[in-house]
């Protein structure tokens, strides 16, 4: 997530205290709305192309996300695994992260705290949080392979 001056938000931090019940509840409740600025073909997501495209935006297409069902699934999976920010807006984490099957980390950002809706985008390679997300996601995968409950 970039600020207006081009730097990544240094306040983003991973939550480590959610119970499996809290994660499951969050995964059921979150909703994906998307943002057409992060799509090469926004119609595939039921979105209208932006009137004024911003070329610096990262594209979901580059992470292999071509339709809404995949994006929704990643959002729910990130929530279910508890890969969420400590920053909260009401009942919702400001950010939820996931990693695609191809290994691309994506970040979802809260759009509407009344509805629990998010839009998401691939994390740029220059984002320092990217490595932290990959590390957490890989540790979750190792736990699943070892048969540990998450």
What confidence tier does 54 reach under pLDDT thresholds 50, 70, 90? low
What confidence tier does 22 reach under pLDDT thresholds 50, 70, 90? very high
Which of 13-27, 46-60, 101-115 is predicted with the least confidence, judged by mean pLDDT?
A: 46-60
135: helix, strand or coil: helix
Instruction: With respect to residue 150, please indicate whether it lies within any of the assigned structural domains.
Output: no
Task: Residue 129: give the domain boundaries.
Answer: 20-145
Instruction: With respect to residue 12, please indicate whether it lies within any of the assigned structural domains.
Output: no
86: helix, strand or coil: coil
Q: Round the CA-based radius of gyration of the chain to a whole number and report it.
A: 15
* Residue 7 phi, psi (nearest 5): -95, 155
Residue range 112-117: mean pLDDT, rounded: 95
Instruction: With respect to residue 14, please indicate whether it lies within any of the assigned structural domains.
Output: no
Instruction: With respect to residue 28, please indicate whether it lies within any of the assigned structural domains.
Output: yes
**Pairwise pLDDT comparison (94 vs 142), residue with the higher score:** 94
The pLDDT of residue 7 is 72
The pLDDT of residue 37 is 76
Compute the distance between CA of residue 3 and CA of residue 17 in angstroms, rounded to an integer.
27
* Residue 64 phi, psi (nearest 5): 80, 20
Residue-wise pLDDT for 102-114, tens only, equals 999 999 999 999 9
122: helix, strand or coil: strand
**Pairwise pLDDT comparison (102 vs 147), residue with the higher score:** 102
The pLDDT of residue 25 is 97
* Number of domains, the chain: 1
Compute the distance between CA of residue 1 and CA of residue 57 in angstroms, rounded to an integer.
10
**Pairwise pLDDT comparison (61 vs 28), residue with the higher score:** 28
Instruction: With respect to residue 10, please indicate whether it lies within any of the assigned structural domains.
Output: no
Q: Within 10 A of 85 (CB to CB), how many other CB atoms are there?
A: 23
Total-model pTM: 0.82
Q: Which residues are within 8 A (CB) of 71 and not within 5 positions of it... i.e. 6 or more apart?
A: 32, 34, 45, 60, 65, 120
């Amino acid at each position: 997530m970039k600020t207006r001056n081009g730097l990544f938000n240094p306040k983003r931090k991973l939550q480590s205290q959610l119970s499996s019940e809290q994660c499951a509840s969050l995964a059921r409740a979150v909703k994906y709305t998307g943002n057409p600025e992060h799509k090469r073909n926004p119609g595939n997501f039921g979105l209208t192309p932006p009137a004024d495209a911003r070329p610096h935006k990262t594209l979901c297409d580059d992470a292999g996300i071509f339709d809404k069902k995949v994006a929704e699934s990643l959002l729910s999976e990130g929530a279910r695994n508890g890969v969420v920010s400590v920053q909260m807006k009401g009942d919702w984490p400001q950010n939820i992260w996931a990693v695609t099957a191809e290994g691309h980390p994506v970040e979802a950002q809260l759009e509407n705290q009344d509805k629990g809706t998010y839009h998401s985008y691939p994390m740029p390679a220059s984002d320092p949080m990217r490595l932290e997300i990959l590390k957490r996601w890989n540790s979750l995968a190792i736990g699943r392979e070892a048969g540990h409950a998450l």
